[in-house]
Amino acid sequence: MTCFLRHTFFLILAFLTLQSCNSSNSKNIISHADAVDYKKADSLSLIYNPKKGNKKIDEFMKNLHKKYAFNGNVLVAQKGKIVYQNAIGWADYLHRDSLKINSVFELASVTKPFTATAIMILVEEGKLKLSQNVKEFFPNFPYEGITVKMLLTHRSGMMNYVYFTDNIWKDKRKGMSNTDVMNLISEHKPVPYNKPDRKFHYNNSNYMVLGAIIEKVSGKTYAQFLKERVFKPSGMKNTNVFSKVKYDKIPVDVVGHDRIWRRSVVQNFLDGPVGDKGVYSTVQDLFLFDRAMRQGRILKKSSLDSMYAPHNEMERGHFNYGYGWRMFDDRGHKVVYHTGWWHGFRHIYLRDMKNDVTIVLLSNLTNGSLLKLDELYKMVDMPVVRKSAYYGNGGSAITASDSSDD
């Protein structure tokens, strides 16, 4: 009897173990199937037939090119479907190289949403708190009372390292790293613009410091962390982080130009720090990032809600800044977006959260063509994000000398 019970017990145990393994395998299969479905969905979402493209948008973009000298790539999508995309003009005017739809652009400040996303990933994992002081990560940081949240929302009051380091960094051909900049700040203690959390002041230093924090907390380079945790899960196969610290020449073909093709803009030591800039991507990959964010592949809804929430005083009744995203609110109709303006590149990336519209315009000619988009917004039933979308501080207009701080 005892042997029978023992035998029965082992049979039941073996059965339960087998069931557990099957259950575990089933979960893995489902997880893998979900991943495959996302890959399939990404591939399907990028299907575009130019013959079926939106003719009104096509006419608008041709006019923008002809009348206002837009040069760059454009993608417009509605409810997850590309309704128009095109590559217009030169990738490198000197060599007369034409742009292609998968041409890779330096995103400039359109990098900031990616930095904010990386920070929120670390927050979700419990490795970081928005209330933490920068000095917890960098004890020699010379300013008191600056938190991660203040950096995200441009409320730190810090000086702009872009201008501060110009007379300090000697070898203008060699890129600075984030660590180099943090060390220079610790050594020279430049006077801040304002007291922490006193007011909104858009500033590249905030996101450069966030880039340094990401590396410190994750134990990986900014480039590695974004590739593993953001680009790959989003299906962004043509997106990378490039820095002059690692590359003498950034390995992309699209060259930034000044406003009338007089010259191409040469990269320098300021193309070393990342976080405020440094991501290179395509219009299609930015569309895929939009889809991944909407589908909750990268962050939880609560994290996304906090990123898209206004964390500053309203400017001009419509404009605000969340975590890495500018926002335009027209009577509850919210558009989250970001602009970019750096070394011959000028961009705007807009995401209508109500009507599920995505607009990406990446330009390598820094003229005023992206200030002429009102009709395009109306065509896709998006609130008209007017010229002040390009105001660097949410209030006063950007001048030519401020063009690196967008």
The overall pTM is greater than 0.85: yes
SS3 341: strand
Does some domain include residue 373? yes
Taking the C-alpha atoms of residue 6 and residue 113, their distance in angstroms, rounded to an integer, is 61
Does some domain include residue 23? no
SS3 321: strand
Q: Which positions of the chain have pLDDT values less than 70?
A: 1-36, 387-406
Does some domain include residue 102? yes
Does some domain include residue 245? yes
Does some domain include residue 11? no
- C-alpha 361: how far from chain center: 14
Taking the C-alpha atoms of residue 359 and residue 157, their distance in angstroms, rounded to an integer, is 32
- For 222, other C-beta atoms within 10 Å of its C-beta total 27
**Which residues of 11-157 form beta strands (DSSP E)?**
72-78, 81-88, 90-92, 97-98, 105-106
Backbone angles phi, psi at 144, to 5 degrees: -90, 150
Amino acid at 61: M
pLDDT in tens, 141-163: 999 999 999 999 999 999 999 99
Q: State the residue range of the domain holding 249.
A: 44-402
Q: Which of 186, 108, 152, 60 is nearest to 398 (CA)?
A: 108
pLDDT in tens, 379-391: 999 999 975 566 5
Taking the C-alpha atoms of residue 248 and residue 217, their distance in angstroms, rounded to an integer, is 28
The pLDDT value recorded for residue 34 is 56
CATH number of residue 178's parent domain? 3.40.710.10
Strand pairing category for 319-321 and 97-98 = unpaired
Q: Which of 386, 382, 353 is nearest to 370 (CA)?
A: 386
Looking at the DSSP assignment, which residues form a beta bridge with residue 147? 133
Does some domain include residue 5? no
pLDDT in tens, 247-257: 999 999 999 99
Taking the C-alpha atoms of residue 322 and residue 76, their distance in angstroms, rounded to an integer, is 24
Does some domain include residue 319? yes
The pLDDT value recorded for residue 16 is 45
361 within 8 A of 257, measured Cβ to Cβ:
no
Helical axes 178-188 vs 204-218, angle rounded to 10°: 110
Q: Which of 108, 403, 103, 118 is nearest to 278 (CA)?
A: 108
Specify burial of residue 163 (Cβ count, 10 A radius: 0-12, 13-18, 19+).
Answer: middle
Taking the C-alpha atoms of residue 386 and residue 373, their distance in angstroms, rounded to an integer, is 8
Q: How many domains does the chain have?
A: 1
Taking the C-alpha atoms of residue 189 and residue 179, their distance in angstroms, rounded to an integer, is 15
What is the torsion angle, in degrees rounded to the nearest 10, for the CA atoms of residue 289, residue 292, residue 294 and residue 299? -100
| Furthest C-alpha separation in the chain | 96
Does some domain include residue 54? yes
Helical axes 2-45 vs 283-294, angle rounded to 10°: 140
